[in-house]
Amino acid sequence: MFSLQRLLGRDDQFFNLLEKSAAEARESVALVKAALETPGKGAASLDDFALLRKKDKRITEEIRTLVTHTFVTPLEREDIEALSTALYKIPKTLEKFCERYLLAPGRLDGCDFSRQLQLLDEATQTVLEMTRRLRSSPGLEEVKEQNDRLQYLEGEADKLMVELLRGLYSGKFDAVSVVVQKDLYDLLEKVIDRCRDAGNVIYYIVLKNS
């Protein structure tokens, strides 16, 4: 039966799915922390990540389907898809970090991810808050302040990366350990970049609709 409601869609369907995806991105940071705290449970950590990624992939596919079959959307279609993609890349990149971390435990002596994870914790929380506020048509200044915070966190991550590389290149580590640790540091920095990208999409959406 033809459904006008289905054709027109409901705003909360899109916002609910985007919020779920942002929440999954935040949960992925908690999974990384758990993996680092209990390295002996590597297989279980990867299983948890696999489940989370499947769940987030389903959310992303549901958003894509809804965009395709809904006549009227609360935001422009390309903006919804851009935000959905940006959010999906956060847990995807963190899963890759977790996989590589568990491959080389003997090469990680002296490797400290705590400061990067602290930045990630704040970045994903900010992205989640920005996503949640989209449904209430937030003011531009409010969103700009949050987006500026993400830009600041990304800048702090860049400075931290330089500091971490200085330690890696000091000669205290063998060549293989340097390659392994740099790869892991790079992945965490990339996740913070993904958070910044999501924030930029949200800011652009609010700017266009203000």
Report residue 10's pLDDT band, with 50, 70 and 90 as the boundaries. Answer: low
Give residue 3's pLDDT.
Answer: 36
Across residues 71-92, what is the average pLDDT? 90
Confidence at residue 145, expressed as pLDDT on a 0 to 100 scale: 96
* pLDDT of the residue at 2: 31
Using alpha carbons, list the distances in angstroms from residue 63 to 83, 86, 129, 132, 201: 10, 13, 19, 16, 16
> Is-contact 83 198, C-beta < 8 A?
yes
Contact 17, 59 (CB under 8 A): yes
Token pair for 193: 């970049």
Pinpoint the alpha helices (H) of the chain. Answer: 4-8, 11-37, 42-69, 77-103, 114-133, 140-168, 175-209
Check pLDDT > 70 for residue 45: no
Q: Which position has the higher pLDDT, 159 or 54? A: 159
pLDDT at res. 11: 61
Per-residue pLDDT reduced to its tens digit, 159-175: 999 999 999 898 888 89
pLDDT of 201 reads 96
Q: Which pLDDT value is given to residue 191?
A: 96
Q: Do 181 and 108 touch, CB atoms closer than 8 A?
A: yes
Domain boundaries, the chain: 4-209
In terms of residues, how long is the chain?
210
- 74 closest CA partner among 5, 127, 6, 12: 12
Question: Count of CB atoms within 10 A of residue 24's CB?
Answer: 22
Q: Is 93 helix (H, G, I), strand (E, B) or coil?
A: helix
Q: How far apart are CA 190 and CA 90, in angstroms?
A: 9
How far apart are alpha carbons 128 and 142 in whole angstroms? 14
Task: Give the pLDDT confidence score for residue 40 in this predicted structure.
Answer: 61
pLDDT at 7 over 50: no
What distance in Å separates the CA atoms of residue 199 and residue 49, rounded to the nearest whole number?
A: 23
Q: Over the stretch 94-116, which tens digit does the pLDDT of each residue have?
A: 989 988 888 887 788 778 899 99
Is 63's pLDDT higher than 70? Answer: yes
Q: Which range has highest mean pLDDT (6-10, 92-96, 156-160)?
A: 156-160
Q: Considering only CA atoms, which of 34, 27, 35 is closest in space to residue 55?
A: 27
What is the distance, to the nearest Å, from the Cα of residue 94 to the centroid of all Cα atoms in its chain? 8
pLDDT at 43 exceeding the cut of 70: no
pLDDT of 4 strictly over 80 = no
Tally helices (H) and strands (E) across the chain.
7, 0
CATH number for the domain running over 4-209: 1.20.58.220
Q: What is the reported pLDDT for 154?
A: 96
Give the pLDDT confidence score for residue 42 in this predicted structure. Answer: 54
Rounded to 5 degrees, what angle do the CA atoms 85, 76, 73 make? 100
- Grouping H, G, I as helix, E, B as strand and the rest as coil, residue 18 is helix
